[in-house]
Amino acid sequence: MNLPNMQEAKRRDLNTHYRYEAPLVNNQFKDQKYFIKTYGCQMNVHDSEEIAGLLENLGYVPATSELDADLIILNTCAIRENAHDKVFGFLGRCKHLKKENKNLKLVLCGCMAQEKSVVDEIMEHHTYIDLVFGTHNIHELPNYLMNLKAGLNIEVKSNEGDVIEVGENFKRDSQYVAWINIMYGCDKFCTYCIVPYTRGKERSRKMEDVLREVNCLKEKGYKEVTLLGQNVNAYGHDLEDGTTFAKLLENVALTGMDRIRFVTSHPWNFTDEMIDIIAKYPNIMPYIHLPLQSGSDRILKLMGRRYTKAEYLALFHKMKERIPHVSITTDIIVGFPNESDADFEETLKVVDECQFDGAFTFIYSPREGTPAAKMTDSIPLAIKEERLHRLNEIVNKYSNMNNQKYLDKIVPVLLVGPSEKGQDKLYGYTDTMKLVNVQCDKALEGQIVPVKITEAKSFSLDGIVAEK
């Protein structure tokens, strides 16, 4: 069989700046239907908005589901093992659709495409896929589709190349809230994490490019932007011209955008200047996602997280003191190799002290190629599951407790779309990122309105529009 040469594909580096300015409508694709299935974090969600923009520039139109699509794109995540299983499960179903629609093209992209083992697996068992491309060459998708050869095409680059400005060519999911990449990649190499391998080294966009994007969104009527990076407080370091995340945040605040958010903050290197800027500008939302991962110094060291429990707590309390009514959420991993009962108890102690507004909790998943995957591990899965269950009960208790503080209060909510909780409701978010289902006139969609909270649950609030 004539298999594509992976090494050759990898050798082609990216070094061109690419900007799509005019639609590339091409009769080859006119009115063909595309469907994108997105897994993983906000980076992937936003990459899918870029992919949709590129496809519509080519003449594609959205399909209602994978069933009526001519092009199915799976934008994948590699963070944990179960993501892998879900993707191949979905692919198996798509393979059958190819029998009904001979023109159907199947594409796999995203973080899994950057894993050599996944590409090998595809080359061996899933040659019905038409195209695999990686995270560093999304902007090349139109070229790949126009030049697609019969059989499996693999376009994965190991070199991240320069930052590529794609202009305002996203097909954004919302008309009110927008994601903005401020940087790509991650240099932290936490020992359990695959992201530095799938997304490459840290590269910041120029401040002027980010500000241009914010201003453009403001002109279009957007009310909120979220600045995206795996580690936003490292923003600017690689530009080596004194640019910092604090400076960027301040300049974004000065554009007058109504609401500004950012994810994710690493507790290491979160400066006092950043805290002061967040506290100073009312349009920077008082919400910080600050992953803890573990409360045990021993485990934090093995994870390569670069902070101790005491340093995390000091930062947490400083934020709580200086930023009025800030809400703080976190990520926690249980069952890192050889995490003892005592280590786990340390994590619970930090959770009790911080009383987080919310937490994403995970069982450690070994990722091939990371240092932690080579560590021996004597802790049975059943114990890890039990720890996760205990942790979740405590996390949910605090999340509920924090939500109860909102009861009967009047808070500003940006209403972003129809609520699943009823025909007469919209859903939106408080400045502190609490989800609220609001009984109101549908015409209020896209506005920031005062909402009286009538009920507080563990994961959401209910409310009605308050009299002005």
Tokens of 246: 């604090």
Segment 198 to 237, residues that bind ligand SAH, using CB under 6 A: 230-231
C-beta of 77: minimal distance to ligand F3S in Å? 3
The binding track of 179-218 with respect to ligand F3S, each residue x by CB under 6 A or -, is ---------------xx--xx-------------------
Binding-site string for ligand SF4 from residue 230 to residue 249, where x marks contact by CB under 6 A and - marks none: xx------------------
Q: At what angle do helices 309-322 and 272-280 cross, to 10 degrees?
A: 20
Q: Which of 60, 88, 176, 364 is close enough to bind ligand SAH by CB under 6 A?
A: 364
42 to 81: interface string for ligand SAH, x by CB under 6 A:
-------------------------------------xx-
Q: Which stretch binds ligand SAH (CB under 6 A): 7-15, 118-126, 319-327, 363-371?
A: 363-371
Instruction: Please say which residue, 40 or 428, places its beta carbon nearer to ligand SAH.
Output: 40
Is residue 138 part of the contact set for ligand F3S (CB under 6 A)? no
User: What is the closest distance, in whole angstroms, from the C-beta atom of residue 266 to ligand SF4 in the complex?
Assistant: 5
- Which one of residues 365, 396, 458, 460 is an interface residue with ligand SAH (CB under 6 A)? 365
Q: Which residues pair with 438 in a beta bridge?
A: 426, 463
Does residue 79 belong to the site contacting ligand F3S (CB under 6 A)? Answer: yes
d(C-alpha 377, C-alpha 339), whole Å: 9
With beta carbons less than 8 A apart as the criterion, state whether 305 and 268 touch.
Answer: yes
Q: Which does 87 bind (CB under 5 to 8 A by kind): ligand SF4, ligand F3S, ligand SAH, none?
A: none
Nearest approach in angstroms of CB 40 to ligand F3S is: 3
Residue 231 engages ligand F3S in binding (rule: CB under 6 A): no
Pairing of strands 183-184, 203-204: antiparallel
Least distance CB 238 / ligand SF4 (angstroms): 14
Report how many residues bind ligand F3S under the rule CB under 6 A. Answer: 13
Burial of residue 240, with CB atoms counted within 10 A of its CB: 0-12 exposed, 13-18 middle, 19 or more buried: exposed
Stretch of 124-132, 186-194, 238-246, 453-461 contacting ligand SF4, by CB under 6 A: 186-194
The yes or no reply on residue 189 touching ligand SF4 (CB under 6 A) is yes
Q: Which residues pair with 248 in a beta bridge?
A: none
245 binds, among ligand SF4, ligand F3S, ligand SAH, none (CB under 5 to 8 A by kind): none
Q: How far is the CB of 187 from ligand F3S (least distance, A)?
A: 14
Contacts of 225 (CB under 8 A, 6+ apart): 177, 178, 179, 180, 214, 217, 252, 257, 259, 260, 261
The interface with ligand F3S within residues 25-44 (CB under 6 A) comprises 40-41, 43-44
Near ligand SAH by CB under 6 A, which window of 108-116, 188-196, 311-319, 414-422?
188-196
Least CB distance from residue 192 to ligand SAH, whole Å? 4
HEC string of the chain equals CCCCCHHHHHHCCCCCCCCCCCCCCCCCCCCCEEEEEECCCHHHHHHHHHHHHHHHHHCCEECCCHHHCCEEEEEECCCCHHHHHHHHHHHHHHHHHHHHCCCCEEEEEEHHHHCHHHHHHHHHHCCCCCEEECCCCHHHHHHHHHCCCCCCEEECCCCCCCCCCCCCCCCCCCCCEEEEECEECCCCCCCCCCHHHHHCCCEECCHHHHHHHHHHHHHCCCCEEEEECCCHHHCCHHHCCCCCHHHHHHHHHHCCCCEEEEECCCCCCCCHHHHHHHHHCCCECCEEECCCECCCHHHHHHHCCCCCHHHHHHHHHHHHHHCCCCEEEEEEEECCCCCCHHHHHHHHHHHHHHCCCEEEEEECCCCCCCHHHHCCCCCCHHHHHHHHHHHHHHHHHHHHHHHHCCCCCEEEEEEEEECCCCCCEEEEEECCCCEEEEECCHHHCCCEEEEEEEEECCCCEEEEECCC
Applying CB under 6 A, which part among 75-83, 97-105, 125-133, 140-148 lies near ligand F3S? 75-83
With CB under 5 to 8 Å by kind, the binding choice for 437 among ligand SF4, ligand SAH, ligand F3S, none is none
**Cβ of residue 263: shortest distance to ligand SF4, in angstroms?**
11
Binding flag, residue 293, ligand SAH (CB under 6 A): yes
Please report how close the Cβ of residue 417 comes to ligand SAH at its closest, in angstroms. 25
Number of residues this chain uses to bind ligand SAH (CB under 6 A): 17
Whose Cβ is closer to ligand SF4: residue 293's or residue 437's? 293
Comparing CB distances to ligand SF4, the nearer of 188 and 289 is: 188
Residues at the interface with ligand F3S (CB under 6 A): 40-41, 43-44, 77-79, 110-111, 194-195, 198-199
Residues at the interface with ligand SF4 (CB under 6 A): 186, 188-190, 193, 195-196, 230-231, 266
